[in-house]
Copies of this chain bind each other. A is one copy, B any other.
Amino acid sequence: MGDGSGDRRGRLDPADWESFRRHGHALFDRLIDQLQGVADGPVWRPVPVDVIQRLAIPCPDRPAGLGDLLADLEETILPYGAGNTHPRFWGWVHGSGTPGGVLAEMAAAALNANCGGRDHAAIYVERLVVDWVKEWFGFPDEAGGLLVGGTSMANLLGLAVARTRHCGEAVRSDGLAGRRLTAYASAEVHMSSAKAFELMGLGHQALRKVAVDGAYRMDMAALAAAVERDRRQGMSPFAVIASVGTVNTGAIDPLPALADFCRDQGLWLHVDGAFGALLALAPELAPRLAGIERADSLAFDFHKWLHVPYDAACLLVRDGALQKATFAGRPDYLAAAGGLAGGEPWPCDLGFELSRGFKALKVWFTIREQGTDRLGASIAANCAQARVLERLVTNSPRLEMLTPVSLNIVCCRYRVAGWDDERLDRLNANLVAQLHLRGIAAPSTCRIGGKLAVRVCITNHRSHDDDFAVLARAMEEIGGELARDAL
């Protein structure tokens, strides 16, 4: 059978395994050095022009030496990350990753499992992870679940199952055939749902944006009126999308009222819980999710608040049989059979993708390495840190909150007496860019009531309370500089 070396070497395997191992160990140490020392560096630095030029080589027809290749990796790529492993990265909604995630991903790459189906350990690991997650959210045993790349995909697949429920399975062969389906979400819903409506051929106008209350939660009266109006006009409402953790303010739509409404109206309740759903792991915050166990489908990310390396997300569907009825179907060459061709049910029958990487391994590894108590405590700590920053802002004569904190997001800005919003918007946009360029902190921006906010979204297990003091001080100082420059 060969001795695993010499003539049994694959054409793309290393010519010198020992040299390969030495390089691999050195790379591993270099990567862990970077993670261990991340707080010592800037949160972000621009990619220098000469580095961009060095990267942009013509496609190589000959092999690079491994040493040269790793030098390029270490000099042109590794120093120029987006910054989301740093304690003062709070932009958009990013996870921080973990060193354990590095171990899981190297193992997944070596195993190189295709989790579309077949009978191998990776399939059992994915099922186990899905079973754990069902428990987190009170979903029944017969619920279906699937790991995907992000909540965008999980939303799309959940809405596709909702469409099957509404239209019947014939929609798979016959398509929409002129049906005028509509669904409903709050005005604060993430754009990924609108993109799902576009891809599904429904058009984003079919996703009705419902007004929100003062806390940015869907207004139930406005929802009822919208559904009633659409029914009267011959539209065919089929689903409501509840946001659990909106991107601007972390608002959570009223789940019990939505579950009641959907039950009474015969509508599918899909929950977009991209980051917010993981509040389920923090006992002091989980009560805010009351009602989530009544959702028909639920989408959320592991790569945000669980800090699993990018990318990994999950879809749960209460009616697992309907999920399968929406996606299942395999041609001859994938037919179930004995041996390796066993292992039913195959994950590819539960979603859209056929070739699928072993995302479940990094999720399994993270949950086992950390345990849900510590994962939940890290989430709760981030929400407490939002209050810390809120106090710093409120106590500063130069800073102001644009909306109260409800979860883990702080929307604030530098203020200058007598300036109108347009001038303040410009100043605060520059302020955020300066925080990036100086490597101090990485918040992002959004609009609250039309005003540009410095948006600090805390999904970061490396942030400490004093990091927020650094931010507040830097905002005061740089804001002051910019205000003086503008005079």
Q: How far is the CA of A361 from the CA of B158 in the complex (A)?
A: 30
Q: A340 touches which one: B91, B128, B199, B309 (CB < 8 A)?
A: B91
The answer to whether residues A353 and B464 also contact, given A1-B40, A4-B39, A337-B445 and a CB cut-off of 8 A, is no
Contact B83 A3 (CB under 8 A): no
> What count of chain A residues pass the 8 Å CB interface test?
191
CB-based contact B77/A125 at 8 Å: yes
Contact mask for chain A residues 53-78; partner B; CB cutoff 8 A; 1 contact, 0 none: 00111111111101001101100111
Contacts of A124 in B (CB 8 A): 47, 52, 55-56
- The answer to whether A87 touches B10, judged by C-beta atoms less than 8 angstroms apart, is yes
CB closest chain-B residue, reference A38: B4
A212 in contact (CB, < 8 A): no
For residue A34, give the distance in angstroms from its CB to the closest CB of chain B: 6
Bound CA span A335–B446, Å: 8
Asked if A268 lies at the interface with its beta carbon under 8 angstroms from chain B, I say: no
Residues of the B chain whose Cβ atoms lie less than 8 Å from the Cβ of A160: 198-199
- Chain B residues lying within 8 Å of A455, measured Cβ to Cβ, are 333
The segment out of A189-197, A225-233, A237-245, A284-292 that lies at the interface is A189-197
B-side contacts of A114, CB under 8 Å:
82, 84, 92, 94, 303, 310-311
Q: How far does the alpha carbon of A32 sit from the alpha carbon of B14 in the complex, in Å?
A: 11
* A39 & B2 in contact (Cβ 8 Å cutoff): yes
Contacts of A199 in B (CB 8 A): 156, 160, 199-200, 352
A377 beta carbon closer than 8 Å to chain B: yes
A42 — nearest CB in chain B belongs to which residue? Answer: B1
CB nearest neighbor in B for A307: B12
Task: Please tell me if the beta carbons of B357 and A149 are within 8 angstroms of each other in the complex.
Answer: yes
Looking at the complex, which one of B101, B107, B310, B372 makes contact with A356 (CB distance below 8 Å)? B310
Q: Which of B122, B175, B369 contacts A203 (CB 8 A)?
A: B175
- Which one, A392-400, A413-421, A426-434, is touching chain B? A426-434
* Residue A140 at the chain B interface, CB threshold 8 Å: no
The closest CB in chain B to the CB of A175 belongs to B203
Q: A8-B87, A56-B128, A104-B109 are in contact. Are A354 and B81 (CB under 8 A)?
A: no
Given A47-B120, A114-B82, does the pair A12, B173 have CB atoms closer than 8 Å?
no
Interface residue from B31, B112, B335 paired with A107 (Cβ < 8 Å): B31
A92 to B8, CA, bound (A): 23
Copy total for this chain: 2
Interface of A is mostly: helix
A158-175 interface code vs B (CB 8 A; 1 in, 0 out): 001001000000011111
Asked if B436 and A51 make an inter-chain contact with CB atoms under 8 angstroms apart, the answer reads no
Verify if A408 is at the interface (C-beta below 8 Å from B).
no
A327–B195 touching, CB < 8 Å: yes
Name A132's closest neighbour in chain B (CB-CB): B59
**How distant is the Cα of A151 from the Cα of B356 in the complex, in angstroms?**
11
| Given A28-B24, A32-B21, A334-B92, A355-B191 contact (CB < 8 Å) | no
Would you call B358 and A310 a contact (CB within 8 A)? yes
A31: chain B residues at CB < 8 Å are: 106-107, 110
Q: Check if A295 is an interface residue, CB within 8 A of chain B.
A: no
Contacts of A108 in B (CB 8 A): 105, 309
Q: Which of A334, A355, A461 counts the most B-chain CB atoms under 10 A from its CB? A: A355
Check if A345 is an interface residue, CB within 8 A of chain B.
Answer: no
Task: Report Cα–Cα, A309/B10, bound state, in Å.
Answer: 15
A378 CB-CB contact with B under 8 Å: yes
- 19 more CB-based (< 8 A) A-B contacts, given A58-B132, A176-B176: A4-B36, A12-B98, A12-B307, A70-B103, A77-B107, A80-B120, A97-B109, A97-B112, A106-B109, A114-B311, A150-B355, A152-B353, A171-B201, A173-B204, A247-B333, A304-B355, A310-B358, A338-B436, A341-B432
